[in-house]
Structure 1
Amino acid sequence: MRTHGWAGSPPDSDDEAVARIVAAALEVVEQRGTDITVADVARLLGVTRQTVYRYFDGTDALLMAAATAAATDFLDTVRARVGTEDRPAEAVVDAIAHTLELLPHRKPLHLLIDPAQRGRFTAGITSDTARAFARAMLVNLPVDWRGAGFDDTTMDELVEFVLRVIQSYVVDPGDPPSTGTELRAFLQRWVAPAVSAAAVVPGG
């Protein structure tokens, strides 16, 4: 690991270097959106572009690492907001609502689920990356999915269903956008019954 630059405070290891590069990328994305370059991140860190390229082979790889890091914190935030709600339908409604309310303030996450990024980072809202994000959100909820009657097939379908609901709001949030109790009432009326109906009845 070379230590030249780094605004006079070089990292102690490659892992720390990667963490600082990703943190800088997150900061730039929060300020400017996804239209950034390796040079922007290098400038913030006080290093050369070549230093960043030692750890990431380009802007897309750097942005995806930043989005993945942001997702971890985001999922913890959603889990905390859902609290102890362990009923599948109600927990999913809460998770979707909180996701839609938080997304406008979490620009790096748009790289994972925004269909505008199709072809750059993912193949669309149901890509492996987006599915992994949605599955992580669901399994992070305080729900006993198996005990509630969700097998592998229904969980796969629920992941896709949740992604498609989120995508519809990302593409068209409404005019004015639905928020708060209005958003939750809509999701409770239409999404909750669909989640409840997905449970596999033993012996059915």
Structure 2
Amino acid sequence: MRRPLGIVATRSTARRPDCVKRYVPTLISIKQIRLRDGEAINRRKRSSCRARGRPIHREMKMRTAFLVAALALGTAPSLALAAPAMTSTTYLTKAGAGDLFERQSSTLVETSTTNPKLKGFARMMVTDHTKSTAEVKAAAMKAGLHPAAPKLTAKQSQDLAALRAASGTARDSLYIQQQKAAHQEALALHRDESTMGTAAPLKAVAGKIVPVVQHHVDMLASM
């Protein structure tokens, strides 16, 4: 015997809330478990990636630090750009200016200082740098070059003006300070020309001047 449709519908709709109440929590629980499991897996993956990345990151930092140190010490020639070779004209200009500054500053101090040791050193500077100027000029002529008359740089002119403005022991101290800096520059200049110069006569004369300037540097070290 068939039951009225209204009763079937009523009964099915009456059961539906129970089904929803019975199964929805289960579905939600399964979803939560899957989410928790997925999050746990992702956490393990991220932790694994970080663990693998730490040694690489540490190694990269060490390599960077080593490279910086190597460049600072000049032990990475393959990565550092090679300095352009100094031209003969540049060498002649710098050597002439350096000698001129030595002669003028030393003449000033020789006539004003009361320190016998410093007076003797200043006199030696005038003699030695007059000689080196003549030798470099002769080498330039031999190489077919005609150097211009020596001229002080702006920095050398300022140093000379400061030396003239000073007096007494203050001038002596300033002179020694300037001489130490000037001779380090001169030593580097002549060494570079003696090893990398393109004109044989200039290379030879620069090599001859290097020990003279080195002797001056040694004398200054004790002042």
Answer yes or no: same fold by TM over 0.5: no
Which structure: larger Rg? Answer: 2
Structure 1 or 2: more helix by fraction = 2
TM-score range, shorter chain: under 0.3
TM-score (norm 1): 0.25
